Amino acid sequence: MSDQPITETHIAIIGGGIIGLTLALALRQRNVEVLVVEADHIASGASGAAAGMLTPIFEMHHWPAKGRDRLKNFGQQSLDLWQGLAEKLSAETGFETGFERCGALGLACGVDLYGDFLENIIAKKWAKAFTTNLGLGQKQTHRQGALVAGEGQISPVQTCQALAVLLKKMGGALIQGMPVERIDFSENNSSPSTLYFLNRKIRAQKIILANGAGASRLWQEEFACPVFPVKGQALMLGLTAEQAKKMPVKLLRGPDCYICVKSDRELLIGATEHRGVDEKNIEEDDNRLLLERAEKLLPFVSRLPRLRAWAGIRPGIADHAPILDQSQRFAALYYAIGHYRNGVLLAPLSAQIMAEKIISNKAVPAPFRLSRFT
């Protein structure tokens, strides 16, 4: 909870994940009074479960064909923004964000469509052909893949913690452990709307929904909320320092699996995808499936000790592009939701687009407009 009760603010952001916190910081940097309201604790939702990959080229494989190149361009813009933001966070808070542009390697694993995708990005000079041994001394396994230099990763939880610290340092406010019960919107645009909680209320001139898969509960449009839950499960395995040193790259991408070296002692495997499921229970069948898929990328993973397994709920959306726009019903309401697989990647660009929309009413890029659903 905040140190002092807050009863009124200019902008209230509902959601203390990486989208809400990055947007709050962008608004504070523009001297806007802002309050972040989180139902649980920061990064308790999709941000806390995410691997933190910043790989726009490889994400193209998962995006619908229509608009794929534009989404890639947005992803690359946002990756470049992460460079400066991560440096600022580390310098001003002392937190390590885990940001690194270490490169990512894609391997076809015998899947023709994915092999074609890798050949295509090599032909377009977005990647280079790369041959590596992934047996790490136990078995010589030479594989041909596509290496994309400059793509990378970040640690989402540590980054959210750094964002929260810097936000407060810059005069922003954050309340945790306060789920919003309902919102009453003022018919008069000059009057504040009211957020109701269990035992208090807060009035705000503008309200932004940035609460991921929970957006449907507070959705205000006259058509159904296009954001749906997608459960994803992941595994963390133990890694020896020797094995970590022998890895050719820290990020491996396959057709249905990814592997990230998160430290000298940890190797992350992810992630399953179950549309329409919003429960975070751990399924052993999913753990086995992840290991089977990961073995095709890295043959020794099944022999590594298991440290933990977890699940998160992604905010799915049909075209994989988020909604970054103003409500069609209430002038005081804005949405920053539906980032699906790419909330971490697109956070800095989403924050920039939303800040400019809220402050200057700058037009939102067409792929992110709410009107595409009407």
* CATH code, 45: 3.50.50.60
| Judgement on whether residues 182 and 195 belong to the same structural domain of the protein | yes
pLDDT digits (tens, 9 = 90+) for 312-335: 999 999 999 999 999 999 999 999
pLDDT digits (tens, 9 = 90+) for 194-249: 999 998 999 999 999 999 999 999 999 999 999 999 999 999 999 988 888 778 89
Residue 141 pLDDT: 61
CB-CB contact of 231 with 37 (8 Å): no
| Judgement on whether residues 257 and 308 belong to the same structural domain of the protein | yes
| Judgement on whether residues 161 and 295 belong to the same structural domain of the protein | no
pLDDT digits (tens, 9 = 90+) for 340-371: 999 999 999 999 999 999 999 999 999 999 99
pLDDT band at residue 5 under the 50/70/90 scheme: low
Residue 151 has which token pair?
């793509």
| Judgement on whether residues 250 and 311 belong to the same structural domain of the protein | yes
pLDDT digits (tens, 9 = 90+) for 245-289: 778 899 999 999 999 999 878 999 999 999 999 999 999 999 999
Last residue of a domain, one of 270, 294, 315: 315
Residue 319 pLDDT: 95
Tell whether 89 is covered by a domain.
Answer: no
Give yes or no for residue 66 having a pLDDT over 90. Answer: no
Give yes or no for residue 159 having a pLDDT over 80. Answer: yes
| Judgement on whether residues 161 and 298 belong to the same structural domain of the protein | no
Residue 340 pLDDT: 97
| Judgement on whether residues 203 and 233 belong to the same structural domain of the protein | no
Asked whether the CA dihedral 162, 166, 169, 174 is positive or negative, the reply is negative
| Judgement on whether residues 235 and 292 belong to the same structural domain of the protein | yes
User: CATH number, domain at 121?
Assistant: 3.30.9.10
Mean pLDDT of the chain: 93
Query: Which comes out higher in pLDDT, residue 269 or 136?
Result: 269
| Judgement on whether residues 218 and 339 belong to the same structural domain of the protein | yes
Tell whether 97 is covered by a domain.
Answer: no
**Model pTM above 0.85:** yes
| Judgement on whether residues 186 and 265 belong to the same structural domain of the protein | no
Residue 124 pLDDT: 97
Q: How many domains does the chain have?
A: 2
| Helices within the chain (DSSP H only) | 18-29, 46-49, 56-59, 68-93, 112-123, 156-169, 241-246, 284-297, 343-360
Q: Give the structural domain span for 324.
A: 8-49+157-226+319-373
| Judgement on whether residues 257 and 292 belong to the same structural domain of the protein | yes
Give yes or no for residue 103 having a pLDDT over 80. Answer: yes
Give yes or no for residue 99 having a pLDDT over 60. Answer: yes
**Of how many residues is the chain composed?**
374
pLDDT band at residue 139 under the 50/70/90 scheme: low
Tell whether 221 is covered by a domain.
Answer: yes
Give yes or no for residue 137 having a pLDDT over 60. Answer: no
pLDDT band at residue 1 under the 50/70/90 scheme: very low
Tell whether 74 is covered by a domain.
Answer: no
| CA distance from start to end of the chain | 38
| Judgement on whether residues 143 and 233 belong to the same structural domain of the protein | yes
Tell whether 357 is covered by a domain.
Answer: yes
